[in-house]
Each structure stands twice: as C-alpha cells, then as structure tokens.
Structure 1
C-alpha cells in the first residue's frame, strides 16, 4: 500500500541521486512504519523548470522538493510525524537542498479505500 512520490525540477539533480533517494525513502518508510519494504512503491516526478514556481517565482535553479507519503489512517499520528521528518532528512542529505525549502505531506487513507489486486486492504486484513 505505501506510496511515495517526490516532485523535483528536472535537471537540478542527477539520475543517480534520484535512484539513491528512491531506495533510501523506501527503506526509511519501511523502518518507520513497519511495512515490508517490498510493498513500498516510490517514484520521482520531474517537472520542466518553466512549469515550476516557488512562492510565485519561477524556478531559479534552487530546488524546492515536495513529497507525499500515502499511509493507512490507522497509523498513529506520531508515526506519521516521524515519517515526515525522516523523509525530509533523506531529501536534504541525498539532494543537498535547503531544509526550509522541502515540503511534504502524509496522506492518510482508510483501508476500505485502498485496493490491492482489486480487493480492499480492510478485506485482506480480515482474511489474514
């Protein structure tokens, strides 16, 4: 179920940084939430510089990553807060960006509203 997405400006970071970030974020998500890493889906979405603005100012070579982490709503708020902090730390460390420019969101999803192979996570839990 876990899904991670990082939005970045194209050309500001290397493909190897993208790959390192995806592996590190997947691993950290698993560590913080207790979800097996092989269930984590992570991707980078690149945006052309002319389609990105920070505070109404077009991208000027500064990176201001935005990330989302989809989590089950029954994960405690403390776990979600730790996850947001841990993912921010990774983005800062791997991409070398200014911490103040990194924004992120934990998106809670009810198990009834998430499907795996067409079956809700709530139903899968009931049969586990």
Structure 2
C-alpha cells in the first residue's frame, strides 16, 4: 500500500537521478514500514520549471529548486515511522538532486483501511484475511 509521489522540477535532472529516487524511496519504505517491496509504489511527476514558483519567483527564471513529496500510509503507522519516512525522503532528495534540504517540503496522508482498495477489495478485508491466515498457519 505505501505510495509516494515526488513533484520535481524538470530542470537539470537525469534519468539516472529519477531511477535513484525511485529505488531509494522504495528501500526507505520497505525498511521503515517493514513492507514487501512489491507493495510499494513510487511516482515521479516532473513539472516544467516555468510552472513552479518559490517565493514568487519561477524556477525557470532562477527561482530555487524546491522538491515536494506526498506519501500515503495506512492508519496505524506510528508518528515515529511517519517522521522517519519524511526525514529519509528529505535527506535522499537533498543528496540525489543536490538541493538544499531547507527547500524540500512533504506531506503525509494517513488512510483508513476501509477507504483503501487493493485489487478491488478493501484493505480492511484483506488485512483481516491475512491475520486469519497467519493465525491458522501458527495453529
């Protein structure tokens, strides 16, 4: 279920940097949330520099490159986990894109399991089935 979307200026960014962001974000989620990597989704949205303003100045006209990310976790994840994800995403973007970390912003959305769909089924039902399957396997 973990999903993150990075909003980045399409300015001086290489395919290798994009690939690195995707790979590192996947690892961050997997480690912090103890999540299987196949459940993790990472999206990178590139925005034209003339459509991004920081402090009223367009990135295309010398405005600061200021990445923004949004990540989603299921309700029940701890504040410490959410903080670790935000911190690690920020550090990763700063290092990978050579951006001042003070310019990076992010937002965490928590979603109720009954409001999230996986393969057309509610996550609350899938979780229930997974818990029951583990209990039966342990018996």
Query: Is TM (by shorter chain) over 0.5?
Result: yes
- Structure 1, unaligned stretches of length 5 or more? none
Question: Of the two structures, which has the highest relative contact order with CA contacts closer than 8 Å and spacing of 6 or more?
Answer: 1
What TM-score do you get using the length of structure 2 for normalisation? Answer: 0.88
The aligned runs of 1:31-42 (5 Å cut-off) are 31-42=31-42
Aligned equivalent of 2:108, options 93, 106, 109: 106
Task: Choose the corresponding residue for 1:87, options 77, 86, 89.
Answer: 89
| Contact 1:9 1:52 (8 Å CA) reproduced | yes
4+ long deviations beyond 3 Å: none
Further displaced range: 5-14 or 56-65: 56-65
1:54 aligns with 54
Question: Contact (CA 8 Å) 1:12, 1:63: kept in 2 or not?
Answer: no
Contact 2:57 2:63 in 1 (8 A): no
Aligned length: 128
The question of whether the paired residues in 1 share the 8 Å contact of 2:3 and 2:42 is answered with yes
For structure 2, the 5+ residue unaligned runs are: 131-139
* Residue aligning to 1:118: 120
Whole-Å Cα distance in 1 between the matches of residues 75 and 35 of structure 2? 14
How far 1:62 sits from its partner (Å)?
3.0
Structure 1 residue 47 displacement after superposition: 0.6
CA contact (8 A) 2:53 2:63 kept: no
**Higher gyration radius (CA):** 2
Give distance in 2, aligned partners of 1:95 and 1:61.
15
